[in-house]
A and B are shown apart, each in its own frame.
Chain A
Amino acid sequence: MKGVSTQKKSTGYQRVVLKNSAPVLENESTRLSAVEFKQFIITGLKILYGEVGAALTFDVLKYDEDSRTAFLRVPSRGLVKLWSSLTLLGSYQDQACAFRILQVSPFLLALTGNSRELQLD
């Protein structure tokens, strides 16, 4: 009645989810829609990793326009590529911007319980 199985994720399958507080823009009034947001990230991938990088599949699971926070999902093979291109994305339509990665986890479930978000005072 008891079965314990330990699995190590195979690379082909694994998904990594990033929670990413997205572009901190100079001009706060600039608004980005979800589609523009994804397009912006793809542009970044294309600059750093070329057409092969731009073909990387990733999902914008949830995007909040006001806080510009998004949940991204990417196969584990593409994690380093996506992360590094986000880091090196420095400008959006000629204004300086930066991405802040808040949390990275192989499980989407882990992103909903980040104790660093605990604000007590």
Chain B
Amino acid sequence: MVRIKSRYLLCEINVTDKSRLLLLDDRAVMTAVRTAVARIHGDYGAAQCIIGVSVKYMNAHTGMVFLRFPKRCYKLLWSALPFITCMETRGQKIPCFLNCLHVGGTIRTCQKFLIRYNTQQLHRLLPKCKNEDEKHVRTALLKCLLPGETRETSAEEADSEEDEVV
């Protein structure tokens, strides 16, 4: 069986004002990507951007985006992403930049990476907890996360061949 190969980029949208993140939607991201590619790579890049490019998933709360690019030209399109400095939505300009966290061959590997990444972030943040309530939440979280994490890593190795080596 032949399938159309794609590359999924897991990106994080960084904004200065967290509250404005909620204004963004996938269409705004898509437009920003298209404009950046057209500016950096001209008509040739814009043409590559027509088929097989989409925003697969967008979490406005955390600012996580899955971008789907065709495999044959993902490097070209990827190279334009750092040039995105702001996104426009509902007449507002939101200054932001994209931070690429992971490149994967399937959505599944990207999702796994995201879960692991979030866990790591959580581990980093939890020791900073101050009051009693937070500490309570922390212990509860650690309890349910730790076994989950080990299970996650063993499953990770099983289909690591789908992962893109960056």
* A interface residues, Cβ below 8 angstroms from B: 45-53
Answer whether residue B138 sits at the interface, using C-beta atoms and an 8 A cutoff: no
Determine whether B94 belongs to the interface, using a CB cutoff of 8 Å to chain A: no
Q: How far is the CA of A47 from the CA of B43 in the complex (A)?
A: 6
Give the distance to chain B from A97, nearest Cβ to Cβ, in Å. Answer: 18
Chain A positions within 8 Å of B79 at CB level: 52
B32-43 to A contact mask, C-beta < 8 Å, 1/0: 000001111111
Assess whether A52 is in contact with B41, with CB atoms less than 8 Å apart: yes
CA distance A45 to B40 in the complex (A): 11
Binding site for A on B (CB under 8 A): 37-45, 79
B34 to chain A, nearest CB (A): 12
State A48–B79 Cα separation when bound (angstroms): 16
B70 to chain A, nearest CB (A): 18
> Are A51 and B45 neighbours in the complex by a CB distance under 8 Å?
no
Contact partners of A47 in chain B: CB under 8 A = 42-43
The 7 closest A-B pairs by CB, nearest first: A50-B42, A50-B41, A49-B42, A50-B40, A48-B42, A48-B43, A51-B40
Chain A residue numbers with a CB within 8 Å of B42 are: 45-53
A52 lies within 8 A of B40 (CB): yes
* Residue of chain A at shortest CB distance from B43: A48
Q: How far is the CA of A50 from the CA of B80 in the complex (A)?
A: 11
Complexed CA–CA distance, A52 and B44 (Å): 11
In the assembly, what is the distance between CA of A47 and CA of B42, in Å? 5
Chain A residues contacting B40 (CB-CB under 8 Å) are 50-52
13 A/B residue pairs, CB under 8 Å, sorted by A: A45-B42, A48-B42, A49-B41, A49-B42, A50-B37, A50-B40, A50-B44, A50-B45, A51-B39, A51-B42, A52-B41, A52-B79, A53-B42
